[in-house]
Structure 1
Amino acid sequence: MKEHGKMREVEVKLHSPDLALVQRALHDAGAKLVKERVFERNLRYDSADGSLIAGGEVLRLRQDTAVKLTYKSDATLENGIVSRLEAEVTVSDFASMDAILRRLGFHVALVYEKYRETYALLGAEVVLDELPFGNFTEIEGDAPTIERVVAALSLGNCRRIESSYVDLFMDVKARLGMSARDCTFAAFVDVDVGELFLPPSTPSFMRAQSGLAKASPCNSLIRPSKS
């Protein structure tokens, strides 16, 4: 959304393991498919002294059907909704932009991959994200619109995730004792995430078919880290 000539990203991230149910809810609510499921490769950069990531800022180069360079400021949080300034530009060449950033002193701190499908509903953008460690729904718009979309999709019981995907990966990596630097699907091929993020599919399926209880895309929650 635009705010006084600047770009401000306002969004909520919901843990929703069963994306098929979210897709069904989107269809039933009359959502428009804006962009079909596409693979993304993202490079997250940091400054030489590590201050960019430490300060909560994001410098990211993304490639899907286009190449985009994005900057995000540190975020503010309210009711699980994340708000931050965002500036984004489309560039013509992924490798050249990466080389420019490296020449400017930035380095790639992490690579992460995901699949994303994009919808429009009630003036908000709704994206379904599949990451190597779990599935999520992000809703972007102003705060009242976000709440209307959450209600329209029956996602009110989903846990609101205030962490970025990179932070979630670092948490999963620590809990599972993974050595991989990057959050790629290849890195998770032989990793059993188990109940950490992914729900058992059979109970959800049985509830949906039996009619005894409404199936929920949020039937498994991210567990907090043990301190």
Structure 2
Amino acid sequence: MTIRVVIADDQSIIRAGLTTILDGQPDIDVVGQAADGREAVDLARRLRPDVCLLDIRMPNLDGIEATRLLAGPDVTDPIAVVVITTFDTDEYVYGALRAGARGFLLKGAAPDQLVQAVHAAVRGDALIDPGVTARLLASFSTRPLASRPAQPIEPLTEREEVVLLTVARGRTNAEIADELYISMSTVKFHLAGLMSKLGARNRVELAMWAYETRRVP
């Protein structure tokens, strides 16, 4: 399968560089480019790419609001979004993930991380730049909550609680399988159960819920 990508950044040189990296992959095709957030949303809605790669600071509509319009909780048919930016402040990262982003990368990330983030987004996984992951997720445990976190429609099983903690710590499916001595299919089974019970659409939302409910030490 060829992964179709739309790139949005207000700097043409950045768009060109990202396009060169992604178009150099045998299974990725950059099908559109936008210079601002509004153009990005219109282009994505028209082309329906598999992944949108959005900068945060853009004219007309910033990347966080563009993410919310394309992948937010109220979107019926969301498009996977990966945010890439030079700014790694907690508010930007938190806002992007809350808006529905499936990944967050700094522009200084290695090209292979960019490719991995696109692949992860298509799979429904998430890749957050290692330089901000631990600090960001840890901040959830001390951040005052605007509202009480949603409760699961059914109590989590003991095994689901364990799997949830590994997800919150940024483990991949393969790492979870190795760590818990279970098969990949069992990992996927538990993740599906967690998403169903918590109403989460991806592992980023699972991780945020684990931190917001103070499950992570």
TM bracket, shorter-chain basis: under 0.3
**TM-score, scaled to structure 2:** 0.25
**TM-score, scaled to structure 1:** 0.24
Higher radius of gyration, 1 or 2: 1
Higher share in strand: 1
Higher share in helix: 2
